[in-house]
Amino acid sequence: RHLPYFCRGEVVKGFGRGSKELGIPTANFSEQVVESFPSDISTGIYYGWACVGNGDVHKMVLSIGWNPFYKNIKKSVETHIIHTFKEDFYGEILSIVITGYIRPEKNFDSLAALISAIQEDIEEAKRQLDLPEHLKLKEDNFFHQPE
Ligand code: ADP
Ligand code: MG
């Protein structure tokens, strides 16, 4: 209902859940950006397009979840960009468009189960984003604005 959803904001330090150690770093948006999200957008896993600064537009998967830092009363929004970056980009402006929904948040019995679920999410995102209705948003003017 809220999709596609366009959003732009600074990448901040997350809570070091070790996403990077799992091979799936997630760029966290600031609290301010998260607060600006529609409050009735469901938590869960989404996909779409993302770009850092004036860089290229890449596929991404995104998690909207409850933020353990704030006793789960505030949300966190974390983007995993499906691209290998040479360097971290904390402090840079991340622009995203969320185009589709994959699944609700889940708890996993093991780290291995979590990782394999995320790998499946990534594969699903890649497939969906190749479909014309999602692909067209990659070229949206939103990504070609001057800073
Ligand atoms: P944090 O807890 O600070 O969010 P993460 O382990 O989730 O730490 O790593 C996130 C950081 O990794 C991002 O803020 C970004 O600077 C960097 N990074 C490098 N490659 C990617 C990528 N492909 N997708 C998202 N973030 C990435
Ligand atoms: Mg993170």
% of the chain surpassing 90 pLDDT: 74
Respond yes or no: is residue 133 known to be catalytic: no
Choosing from 21, 35, 78, 92, the catalytic residue is 78
pTM of the model: 0.95
- 9 CA to middle of ligand 1, Å? 14
* Distances in whole angstroms, Cα of residue 8 to Cα of each of 79, 85, 142: 12, 19, 9
Q: Which ligand is nearest to the CA of 69?
A: 1
Residue at token pair 């402090």: 91
Q: What is the pLDDT of residues 22-79, one digit of tens each?
A: 889 999 999 999 999 998 899 999 999 999 999 999 999 999 998 776 777 888 999 9
Asked whether this complex has an ipTM greater than 0.95, the answer is: yes
Q: Is the CB of 25 within 6 Å of ligand 1?
A: yes
- Would you put residue 18 in left (φ > 0), alpha (ψ -120 to 50) or beta? left
Rounded to whole angstroms, how far apart are CA atoms 73 and 105? 15
